Amino acid sequence: MAREQLAFFKRRKTRQVKELTAIFLWGLLLFKYWVTGELYLLIHPSYFFLVLASSIILFLVFITKVYLLLFQPGAVAVLEENQYQSSLLPRGWASNLLVFVAIIGLIVPPMVLNSQTVMKRGVNDLPPTTLQPQSFLPQTEPEKRSLIEWVRTLSVYPEPDNYIGQKADISGFVVYGENLPENYIYLSRFVLTCCAADAYAVGIPVELPQPRYQYPPDSWLRVRGVMKATTLPTLSDSKAKRQLVLQAAEVIRIPTPKNPYHVSQPSPSSSY
């Protein structure tokens, strides 16, 4: 009987340590994402405060449980008898799984969405909820538009011949298209509306002055040139269509931005 009681107390202590470890590691993981700026790769900046608040709450829970365990072990025992209701996993496995995932998150940094993701998801037009009419005012100089602003403009006024001869200066990462000629790339960016899981890519075809192998996929470029209209296959379809293309005059390699995603803003009507 004494051995059984001793084994029971040992198992309970082990569970308590695992639960405390899981709570602490997840608080640390969320805090690490916030401090290092890795949250930019995961969620919309509007939710950064919630992540920080969750991290602080987890640390407070950890401190509270440690205090109760050291100074009021009876209260901890009562809580344990009532807290475990799950029938999906054996008791203790949930803590093991949480600890394992947290350790992986602390060791392995989140990855930036890349050209392979673009090939899987395709290149899209910006949906109406992200369009901002102020981007299309006549005084907006074409060479001051970003890649996103060019895509917005095309979403509203899609006729490519309207932009022939306009200068452009845009930045993005390189995507190869299987159907594109060897001196063409897609210059793309991801638009983030909530989190990386629902991010979608937009882009503009670029005609390079040299073969594209000099610019590997996922490398970031700043391209200056002049817009022209050309009949080309799309990124995901071999069927050619007339579309706007940036004829590059200057191509500059640039480092990957700290925040590689464009953060979408709500439409003006949503505030009324």
For residue range 196-216, list pLDDT tens digits in order: 888 889 999 999 999 899 999
pLDDT-derived band at 130 (thresholds 50, 70, 90) equals: very low
pLDDT at 186 (0 to 100): 92
Question: Hey, which bits of 73-219 come out as E strands?
Answer: 167-175, 184-192, 200-207
Q: How far is CA 79 from the centre of its chain?
A: 38
Beta-strand pair 184-192/200-207: antiparallel
CATH code matching the domain that covers 115-266, chosen among 3.40.50.10210, 3.40.50.150, 2.40.50.140, 3.40.50.80: 2.40.50.140
In this prediction, residue 265 has a pLDDT band, given cuts at 50, 70 and 90, of low
Q: Alpha-carbon distance 220 to 261, whole Å?
A: 12
| CA dist., res. 173 & res. 190, Å (int) | 9
**Predicted confidence (pLDDT) per residue in 38-88, tens digit:** 999 999 998 999 999 999 999 999 999 888 888 776 655 545 554 555 555
pLDDT of amino acid 103: 95
- Whose tokens are 């449980």? That residue is 65
Q: Which of 18-27, 48-57, 133-142, 246-255 has the lowest mean pLDDT?
A: 133-142
8 A C-beta contact, residue 241 and residue 232: yes
The mean pLDDT of 94-111, rounded to a whole number, is 91
What's the chain's average pLDDT?
A: 82
The residue with greater pLDDT, 88 or 102, is 102
DSSP 44: -
252 half-sphere exposure, CB direction, 13 A CA radius: 10
Q: Compare 193 and 6 and report the one with higher pLDDT.
A: 193
Alpha carbon distance 77, 11 (integer Å): 12
Span 115-129, average pLDDT: 70
Q: Using the predicted structure, report yes or no on whether residue 25 has a pLDDT greater than 60.
A: yes
Domain extent listing, the chain: 2-107, 115-266
User: What is the pLDDT, as a whole number, of residue 8?
Assistant: 42
pLDDT category at 117 given cuts 50, 70, 90 is confident
| Residue scoring higher pLDDT (139 or 180) | 180
**Sign of CA pseudo-dihedral 72, 77, 83, 84:** positive
Question: Poorest-confidence range of 87-91, 179-183, 188-192?
Answer: 87-91
* pLDDT of 23 over the 90 cut: yes
The amino acid sitting at 89 is L
